[in-house]
Amino acid sequence: MPHVPDALAPLACPAAPCSDTPCARPAEAFVPSPALPPPPSAVGPLGWLRANLFDGWFNSLLTLLCMAFLAAVVPPLVSWALLDACFTGDASMCAQSSGACWTFIVHKFRVLMVGTYPPAEAWRPALAGVLLATMVGCTAWRRLRAAALAVLWLLLPLAALWLVGGGAGLAPVDQSQWGGLMLSVGLALVGILVSIPCGVLLALGRRSRIAAVRALCVGIIEPVRGVPLITILFMASVMFPLFLPPDMQINNLLRVQIGMILFSSAYMAEVVRGGLAAVPKGQTDAAKALGLGYWKMQAFVVLPQALRHVLPSLVGRCIALLKDTSLVIIVGLLDFLGMAKAASQDQQWLGHDAEAYIFCALVYWLLCFGMSRWGRSIERRTAHRAR
């Protein structure tokens, strides 16, 4: 009989009484093999590059073209903006430099910020800016209650107007001397604070069951949305004074501000109306079943949900309003961009338009990006509360 290997030999029966049934081999537990590590080309930086930049021949070609473009553009730009730039000195030193003249921004900084505002009174718009920054910080970090923040935000334009314009103990400063970033931020701030509640009221009026109210709101929204902002600014600046009594005068800045508020309110109304349409009808039915009146139902049930639905669009409209303030130069107001253009035409600093516009673009980007991130944080917070 051939030799049977031990691995194939039947297991010896344990010591037990003899039986005619042969002993069965006990079942062994299944032990899986350890998982193999992923290939090096699928993880780490190399995997990210393959998944995002070199995923197929077309994406690889686009990546190589972009890299070639950056290699051709970035080194000269860095050399012009940083390495060969002039940061100190005067206009004569900038003329000897082959790079950017950031000294121009330093010398014209006050003009870019407050325009032709009297230098001796420059502390007043600076204090107004500190108040605005304080309010932004308190709102972003939620240092105060919502009701207190709402009241302070409504009082902030009045305090800033008193500081910048004068009166009640301060020397008056004519509005023709206002300009720069102060003017742009002021127009945007007042426009946002007024156009949002006006837009909400217009949206509610457009959905009203009263035909006269609905027709009035539609008559305001549709004509305003049907024309560009430049047309409204021209109407406010040129045509509106023709309809006023001879002894009634409204300064150009106030007329332009009213036109911007009207334009923004019409777009805000359509944004809010979309949010109102997204609220389920069962919410209003439940509010009516609880005995809530129309305004309480809108304030505590419908509007919170509607505004949460359209919060990104509202923030987008606020950012657009800030950028639209650059159009007021057409009607004779020197905003931030207009003041940068005027400053670059100084005989002593001719040829530095690029530095002025790059500085304006950076400031606008910082403001718009900050508003976008602020809106994003509010969106996350409201979404968490809704869950």
Residues 275 and 335 both lie in one domain: yes
Residues 63 and 110 both lie in one domain: no
- Do residues 218 and 312 lie in contact, with contact meaning Cβ atoms separated by under 8 Å? no
User: Which residue has 């903006």 as its token pair?
Assistant: 81
Q: How confident is the model at residue 9 (pLDDT cuts 50, 70, 90)?
A: very low
> Distance (Å, rounded) from C-alpha 189 to C-alpha 191?
5
Query: Does 275 reside within a domain?
Result: yes
Q: Which two tokens stand for residue 285?
A: 């039915």
Q: What CATH number is associated with residue 227?
A: 1.10.3720.10
Cα–Cα nearest to 151, from 203, 193, 191: 193
| Max CA pair span of the chain | 131
Residues 243 and 278 both lie in one domain: yes
Query: Does 98 reside within a domain?
Result: no
Residues 330 and 281 both lie in one domain: yes
Inter-CA distances, 193 with 117, 145, 200, 202, 333, Å: 25, 18, 12, 15, 21
pLDDT at 20: 54
How many residues are present in the chain? Answer: 387
Query: Does 367 reside within a domain?
Result: yes
User: pTM (2 decimals)?
Assistant: 0.83
Query: Does 215 reside within a domain?
Result: yes
Residues 194 and 301 both lie in one domain: yes
Mean pLDDT of 211-222: 95
Q: Which two tokens stand for residue 107?
A: 């010398």
Read off the amino acid at residue 92. Answer: S
Query: Does 53 reside within a domain?
Result: yes
Residues 187 and 70 both lie in one domain: no
Asked whether the predicted pLDDT for residue 323 surpasses 60, the reply is yes
Residues 206 and 355 both lie in one domain: yes
> Distance (Å, rounded) from C-alpha 230 to C-alpha 328?
8
- Do residues 266 and 202 lie in contact, with contact meaning Cβ atoms separated by under 8 Å? yes
Query: Does 137 reside within a domain?
Result: no
pLDDT at 379: 85
Asked whether the predicted pLDDT for residue 258 surpasses 50, the reply is yes
Query: Does 28 reside within a domain?
Result: no
Residues 66 and 113 both lie in one domain: no
Cα–Cα nearest to 240, from 260, 259, 225: 259
Cα–Cα nearest to 164, from 135, 191, 192, 132: 132
Mean pLDDT of 97-123: 92
pLDDT at 23: 54
Residues 198 and 251 both lie in one domain: yes
Range of the structural domain that residue 68 is part of: 49-83
Name the 3-class secondary structure at 348.
helix
Domain count of the chain? 2
Residues 65 and 188 both lie in one domain: no
Asked whether the predicted pLDDT for residue 4 surpasses 50, the reply is no
For 111-164, the pLDDT digits (tens) are 999 999 999 999 999 999 999 999 999 988 888 888 899 999 999 999 999 999
Q: Which two tokens stand for residue 349?
A: 């600093």
Mean pLDDT of 225-246: 89
Residues 224 and 258 both lie in one domain: yes
3-state helix, strand, coil in the chain (%, to 5): 70, 0, 25
Name the 3-class secondary structure at 113.
helix
Query: Does 204 reside within a domain?
Result: yes
